[in-house]
Amino acid sequence: GAVVSQHPSRVICKSGTSVKIECRSLDFQATTMFWYRQFPKQSLMLMATSNEGSKATYEQGVEKDKFLINHASLTLSTLTVTSAHPEDSSFYICSATLGMDASGGELFFGEGSRLTVL
């Protein structure tokens, strides 16, 4: 299957700083990328959907100014957690899809990024 790479896998930062997480599709062009947040022992909660070259669509309750998403190319999307606070500590996961025509809509997930805000 297709490979999605996330970086960094773990990051620790001080409260008030910003952190950027990258999501890359390594061997395919992703028309759409999704960002999820996962708390311990809980399911994946969709944060936003991003399409290359356009603004991300955020889910209800997700602060777009807090979680900046950029999808500048068909292989790269970034999530920036701005002015991070301890409550932002979580496991962030991205996924990518070729879209229905090419792959049947299958989602390919990254390995996730563990953010810890001190």
Partner 1 sequence: GENVEQHPSTLSVQEGDSAVIKCTYSDSASNYFPWYKQELGKGPQLIIDIRSNVGEKKDQRIAVTLNKTAKHFSLHITETQPEDSAVYFCAASISGGYQKVTFGIGTKLQVIP
Least Å distance, CB 96 to partner 1, is: 9
Decide whether 77 or 97 has the Cβ nearer to partner 1. 97
Minimal distance in Å, beta carbon 31 to partner 1? 8
Using the rule CB under 8 A, which residue among 15, 17, 42, 73 binds partner 1?
42
Least CB distance to partner 1 at residue 39 (A): 11
Q: Which is nearer to partner 1, 82 or 103 (CB)?
A: 103
Residues 64-103 that bind partner 1 (CB under 8 A): 93, 95, 97, 99-100, 103
Are 103 and 1 spatial neighbours (Cβ–Cβ below 8 Å)? no
Say how many residues touch partner 1, by CB under 8 A.
Answer: 28
